[in-house]
Structure 1
Amino acid sequence: MFHEVDEALRKLVTTRALGGGDVRLVFDAPTRDWAAQRNTPTVNAYLYDIREDVARREHGPVRVREENGRVTRYRQPPRLYRLSYLITAWTKRPEDEHRLLSAVLGCLLRHDTLPADMVPPGGLLATAGMSIPIFAAVPPMDPRSISDLWSALGGELKPSLDLVVVAPFPASPEIPAGPPVTELEVTVRDGVHEVSETQRKSLA
């Protein structure tokens, strides 16, 4: 699922923020060694944190229906995960980096969710049938400092955007439903005496 979010973000940012130009979008860890080897204008979206959004967890089986409305399978609700990306721009001039970050932020602010046409078809995200919220440049839920993250990466602090994508992940395989009930047998009791006649009612 994570690679599908990467692909959707790549398509969204490349086409609607970078204009399909020479600027690359990558998902590498922006370490000191990586920065030294970079030689082209680059936007980096580093996935640095993955954790379940426990407050939004749902319980109980979900019915899966056919087009005619008949229940054919049951499944557990998907778990929702917060994927946190550190977005940075890398060029030879700070002014150009700021310009790239501004373009990326403007693109992300135009969307409350990942656009459906950016999601890879046929994958887990598409088949989940759920909207995928995104939050750009909002205060992180975790009190950890971004400077601590840069220290862990061994790099120097740079201007960055914090992007959070809330994506569904299947919790269990689907379980086939039993055959539909088409007939009901009713036994009528009169006080303590049981009426011997049994009625059958078709439910088809």
Structure 2
Amino acid sequence: MTKDNPATQNGETGGREINPFVKSALDLGPIIVFFVAYLLLKDRIFTIGGTEYDGFIVVTAAFIPLLIASTGALWYLTGNISRMQVATLVLVIVFGGLSVWLNDDRFFKMKPTMIYLLFGGLLGLGLLRGTSYLKYVMEGMMPLKDEGWMILTRRLMLFFFGLAVLNEVIWRTQTTETWVYFKTFGLSIAVFGFFLSQGKLFQAHGIEDAKGDDTSGG
């Protein structure tokens, strides 16, 4: 895996190009499989080694190796995966493994909370040091001036902390099925909506393509 070079940490500019459909399948496939498998098995009870497991635990047990395989395939095909993907995989293994081992779905439901607290905390640490770690991850996708990166980083940090709180509220007060819908669709829509709402910031602090300006003026 690529190390330490900011230009290659985001997986967009540092790795080998692969078919976008293949990349999307590897990124989203495990989540879709988890959702569909849960809908099919949510009302079933499985007896394994004399212990009863509900469908959610069985699906969680299958999701862990599936995510490991898809992440490994992405690494093999592109030559690079982001640190966020590594952190997510580790937390899935830890919290998913605890849920399966202890036959307790609460640990896996806490996993998004830990992920967003980790990401928000890392962004906050960078801000305390006067830098934007987000810039190192996403600079290739969104060219912004330094002040723009700092503003976006502060907003995203608060957004991540908000998602962590929201996940805790959902899984502690709602049914497992409601939480699965929230995890599969709600979180993704929220992240998409956040970046969509930052249009004015991108306009105010975006870096214009000087080369494009020169050619249009000539």
The TM-score normalised by the length of structure 1 is 0.29
Larger radius of gyration: 1
Higher relative contact order (CA 8 A, sep 6+): 1
Kindly indicate which of the two structures has a greater share of residues assigned to strand. Answer: 1
Q: TM-score, normalised by structure 2?
A: 0.28
More helix per residue: 1 or 2?
Answer: 2
